[in-house]
Amino acid sequence: MKAGSGKPEASALKVGSGKPEASALKVGSGKPEASALKVGSGKPETSGLPTKPPRTRGGDKRERILAAAVKVFAKSGFHGTRVSEVAKAAGVADGTIYLYFRSKDELLVSLFEDRVDKLLVHMNAELSNLPDAPAKLRRVIELQLGLLEGERDLAEVITVIIRQSSKLIKEYAAPKFGAYLDAIAQVVVEGQNAGDFRKDVSPHLVARATYGALDSIALLWALGRAEQGALVRSAKQLADVLLRGLLP
């Protein structure tokens, strides 16, 4: 959650934008696939990955805290983590954490909302430049999985750790998550109106199914070998399957 948001603590979630995150996003193919290298290239696949914006100096300390929280939560679990451990990993005093987050709960939700914010920023920036709804839905899938490439700890936090605080997420992160689902549903509506997608399915059902598939892929990737390039391949395969199912 944002620093000083004033939201109450509850019982019991990449880092960067300054807004909370929540839920289970991880990305990956269930188990890492054969090889992450392009044939003959000797380099990992990177096609379709979004470019990560540079950090701003003003938000550096908050980002350090969020980055440290990801590592500590992934190692010790949410309930097993103390705020002092996050502070130590971030290289700040214990009290500094509370300048940005009112509680450990708020810190977890901030990770989730930050993740969703990143997705929405990339979607807003890129989707309008694409020619049609099928291309836009494919890009949404690439973005969600691409932002987790090389971020195994983050994937584990948003797919496993966040599930430990479902009540907290429901209470405080639902609006942000709802905006993400609405954005995907709007792409489906666009495709239905243009005749690219079948009209006998609910746009929000497609949005939830898309998220559920992405979340499961991320979960298995994070708990497996987190193979480099596996998420890129998974994104292509999932997009192919979903787009075929939406053909009119």
Secondary structure of 37-84 in HEC code, one letter for each residue: ECCCCCCECCCCCCCCCCCCHHHHHHHHHHHHHHHHHHHHCCCCCCHH
- Of the CA atoms within 13 Å of residue 242, those in its CB half-sphere come to 30
Average pLDDT over residues 223-229: 87
- Tens digit of each residue's pLDDT (9 = 90 or more) over 136-176: 999 999 999 988 888 888 888 888 777 766 666 666 667 88
Which residues are within 8 A (CB) of 86 and not within 5 positions of it... i.e. 6 or more apart? 65, 68, 69, 72, 97, 104, 107
Q: What is the pLDDT of residue 166?
A: 63
pLDDT at 10: 40
Minimum mean pLDDT range among 42-56, 128-142, 233-247: 42-56
Give the predicted TM-score (pTM) of the model: 0.70
Q: What is the pLDDT of residue 167?
A: 66
Indicate whether 134 pLDDT > 60.
yes
> Which residues is 60 bridged to in the sheet?
none
Report the pLDDT value the prediction gives residue 45, as an integer from 0 to 100.
Answer: 43
- b/e map of 109-119 (b: 16 or more CB within 10 Å)? bbbbbbbbbbb
pLDDT of res. 31 = 40
For residues 113 and 14, give the distance between their C-alpha atoms in angstroms, rounded to a whole number: 10
Q: Tens of pLDDT along 50-87?
A: 444 444 444 689 999 999 999 999 999 888 999 999 99
User: Of the ranges 20-34, 100-114, 192-206, which is most confident?
Assistant: 192-206
Residues in the chain: 248
- pLDDT of residue 4 exceeding 80: no
